[in-house]
Structure 1
């Protein structure tokens, strides 16, 4: 039978494909990652571990059991035989990371935090294209932060804190558009902070504290940034604070800059961070007066301004306004007070089996106000026996309030009568909040009404 031209072409194509299969097919198939590849990669890690005090890996990671049943290993539901999670945190392990880990091509979660791994991060980890969570915090890794971390296209959480990383923060880290949390704290990082580090569109929290970073704080912020917390404390940063911080950070809740060398005046524009809850500017070189506009931050519940060069003349008036601001303008303000239900802040009825109520929370508010203006805690050593913060404050009213007022709030000159009257009024309200019997205690609505009235009077002076 004669073959047609079309049949001849089909036969030649089949022969060609058969030849390709014979010569390169098996090799190509062998290079395809599989569950056996994952197993080999993890066994290589096991060989690089020099100390396994609980024998967790030596007795569990064996070739006779499925890798998906190994301790610290999770396999995916779609690709049931492929490793998607490696979690060896808090296992007391020591050793190094082998390059074979780059073959875990389905890995999305990598956590070896709080062990004693050392050395460097192998560049082969850049092949983990599905990686979303990467934590090596609390180890002893050294060297520079590898720039290849920026090539991980799905990375959302990066924790390199509490290691020995040194050098500069790589500029490439700013290109990780998927990153939500970045923690590089407690290392030996130096030089300036990359200028675009706050411009990552998904970044919600960044912690660069306890390093040796210097220079100015970056002033470039992504428009409508989702940033909730910036922690730069305990570095060598200097210069003025950017005036435009709050303009592009409407959601900022925490700004921690303690222990640097920032100077200049505290910008009044910080009052535009309407969601700010924690502002820490202590131990710097700030000068000038505290902006009264900060009193408008009704969500602020922690403020640290000590150890600066601030002018003290208006501190009493400011702190009076701030104390009121803390208690006004927040519908769920009670939930914040419940965190104070500890010794000294707790209403007496809690210790006698009484029910938790808003009357008890009013008591805690009163103690909190006393602490703000006196600088004393109810647990301070000076309060023993029958003497208490509440009794001490009450005995000073109304004419000796200057004797209990925190000295750090005073200027070199004696406070004016108006300022002392302000403090006296607030502390008198605080004592009414702390009446022993709950039924005789002021209600929260009455407290808020009184505070609003005091604030109105302050604004007229």
Structure 2
């Protein structure tokens, strides 16, 4: 280790004057004064390990976790035959895992997690006979998951003592080997966040001691194993010790097996974001210790089991984005420990009962996008801890209950798109923490309250109601003294003014088009984004459509359809639309700090490496949501720096879905004549006119290369005939620093050797090249990209 012995570490001196057995972190044997343990964890050390470490022949424990050691893992560690504990996690070790480590036959714990290790998992690891814990998570390991015969292990019997196996957050591929079922002592298994495919092997059912299993964020398909699906023997339930089961974010289909009710100790069950269908089995009510049940984003149908009241410990129940029907069972409202409830985007119907007030611990309720009817029950006031209430997109009738004003902790209230009538209760003025209010698209009348936080809400919170009046900032008429409303007169004024405004805007558009010669077929479909300010001072962006271009109306409809379906923190929010015979316009959220293009190419703006990686992680999250977070995938088709806007915190928000194509369910590509921007469009766009989610992946890869190099995709390299992708590919890995944007290098102060910086940039550029491969089938999907980019982000200081 390259350590200055004069440095002070945690208040203790490493000095040549002091006996080394007195140094902090060094443990020596009493009789022979030989080093038997080194605990140098969390000391801020850096550098390469010294090969002389292999001379500490009596060493039984080596713990170097959470430092900045780099380079290869020393093969000399394999000479430490007495070593029982090897912990190198949370460093910057790179390269392959040395096979020689298997000579440490006394090893009980080995953790190499959160480094930069590559290559496969050595098959020689099967030689370990005492190993109880193996942690290789959060690296860049590749290849197939060990088969446990001839891969990790040549003889599975040698791993009979293994209790914990963590290999998550790598790039492992292939299938889960069936021999994993032979590891009878296994208590915890985490294979999540890889690229594992195929089915879950039935042999997992042999792991009767398993307590936690995570297989989430993979590419698993088909059904849960027969052993889980079948009947549970009376003599012994299946995996009785299991407390945590995560199968999220895969492609599992089939029904939820009824025998899942045998997992009697289960506390958390995550089956979300799969293709599961059929009913929720009644046997799930046997899981009386269940605290969290996540079933959202599947194809589950039917109703919530009436026996759900048996889950008295349930704190989180999420079943949004499914095909649920029927009324919500009365028994659900008796779950007094429930904190988070989301039943949105289903087809639940019927009324809400007065009994909903029994859920005293509830903090978040989302029942939006259903078919609920009747009045909002006054017993809602019993939700003393409620922070979020979303009842929008239903058919609730009657008045807004005054009792909502008793929800003192309420921060978010959305009752929009219902049939509510009467006045807005003044009791809402007492909600001191209310930040978001949406009462739009109802039949409300009377005066809009002025007190409390109402002065912070915009007119959008109240639009499309029958006869509201009040302060001019809400863009409603002033209230008359006698309480009479002039709705007919107001509508008459609107009918007159809207066409006049439209004509004025149209004339302005035509004049500007003529001035700039933009009336040809090659003109942009969308022109001249305007900035505006509402009466309440909120800035907006108004995107006006050029109606003189062929296909313009179709483009506008496509963009409206896309925006109507989505809502995400990394996507620019659409506030409203304006449509008539003379005008098409979108009213958008104004994003104050401009486009990524401005920040990349203006001399007045600078972004360091971490900021750039964070921005691209934001973009990846947004595109992943478009591709995988919708019932039907949405393809952006025009990813480029000018379509990525930055807010005041430099959080990226993707905009401009003007040529987005909404793909039909289970349809991977569609034909189009519309192309994105030259340099960013995938090869298959131009050659075959094919639009797919993999085209966005290509554009993202080019964008990633551009963000790091500061070069546009075409014509900015030294050779104008070479593309950005070719230029980067020819320059790495030897000349990474030669192609990095000089703005990044100027802002680089720490790490004088630039070794860490060089390796991180190389990872980013390699990811960009992987995303932008010529063949669509060779490109990864946005889920995988998002995981990889977030890992890179976490490795940055």
TM tier relative to shorter chain: 0.5 to 0.7
1:303 to 418, 424, 437: 437
Is the 1:193–1:218 Cα contact (8 Å) retained in structure 2? no
Contact 1:147 1:170 in 2 (8 A): yes
CA distance in 1, matches of 2:280, 2:309: 13
1:250 aligns with 2:409: no
Q: Is the partner of 2:314 in helix, strand or coil? A: coil
Does residue 282 (structure 1) correspond to residue 439 (structure 2)? The answer is: no
Q: Distance in 2 between matches of 1:69 and 1:290?
A: 53
Matched with 2:214 is 87
Deviation at 1:199, TM superposition (A): 1.4
Once residues 183 and 394 of structure 2 are traced to their aligned partners in structure 1, the CA distance between those partners, rounded to angstroms, is 56
Distance (Å, rounded) in 2 between the aligned partners of 1:194 and 1:253: 23
> Among 40, 55, 58, which residue is 2:174 paired with?
55
Q: Any conservation in 2 of the 1:61–1:70 contact (CA below 8 Å)? A: no
CA contact (8 A) 2:345 2:370 kept: yes
1:215 equivalent to 2:342? Answer: no
1:314 to 428, 447, 455: 447
- Asked if the contact 1:117–1:141 (Cα under 8 Å) also holds between the matched residues in 2, the reply is yes
State the 1:378 CA deviation: 2.5
1:192 matched residue in structure 2: 327
How far is the alpha carbon of 1:112 from its aligned partner?
0.4
Determine the C-alpha separation between the residues in 2 that align with 1:70 and 1:243.
47
Cα drift, residue 375 of structure 1:
6.0
Unaligned runs of 5+ in 1: 1-34, 40-51, 74-79, 327-369, 384-405, 408-461
Alignment partner for residue 294 of structure 1, among 417, 420, 428? 428
Q: Is the 8 A contact 1:61 1:67 kept in 2?
A: no
**d(CA) in 2 for partners of 1:193, 1:211:** 11
Q: Which residue of 2 aligns with 1:168?
A: 303
TM-score, length of structure 2 as denominator length: 0.33
Cα offset, 1:164, TM superposition = 1.0
Mapped contact 1:249–1:273 kept (Cα < 8 A)? yes
- Name the Cα RMSD after superposition: 3.3
Residue 382 of structure 1, CA deviation = 8.1
Matches within 5 A, 1:147-186: 147-186=282-321
Tell me: CA distance 1:58–1:250, structure 2 relative to 1, closer, same or farther (3 Å).
Answer: same
Given that 1:186 and 1:210 are in contact with CA atoms closer than 8 Å, whether structure 2 keeps it comes out as yes
User: Which residue is 1:97 aligned to?
Assistant: 224
- Contact persistence 1:89–1:111 (CA under 8 A): yes
* SS across alignment from 2:307: helix
Residue 211 of structure 2 aligns to a residue in which SS? strand
- Partner Cα separation in structure 2 for residue 70 and residue 231 of structure 1: 33
Question: What are the superposed Cα offsets for residues 93-135 of structure 1, whole Å, 9 maximum, x if unpaired?
Answer: 1121124246212110001011111111222221111100001
Offset of residue 61 of structure 1:
3.9
Distance in 2 of aligned mates of 1:324 and 1:375: 9
Query: Aligned residue for 1:123?
Result: 258
Higher-RCO chain (CA-CA 8 Å, sequence separation at least 6): 1
Cα shift at 1:81: 8.8
Which stretches of structure 1, 4 residues or longer, exceed 6 Å deviation after superposition? Answer: none
| Alpha-carbon distance change, 309 to 69 in structure 1, aligned in 2, over 3 angstroms | closer
1:132 to 242, 264, 267: 267
Instruction: Tell me how far apart the structure 1 counterparts of residues 536 and 374 of structure 2 sit (CA, whole Å).
Output: 30
How many residue pairs end up in the alignment? Answer: 283
Q: Deviations over 1:346-386 (max 9, x none)?
A: xxxxxxxxxxxxxxxxxxxxxxxx98x73664342389xxx
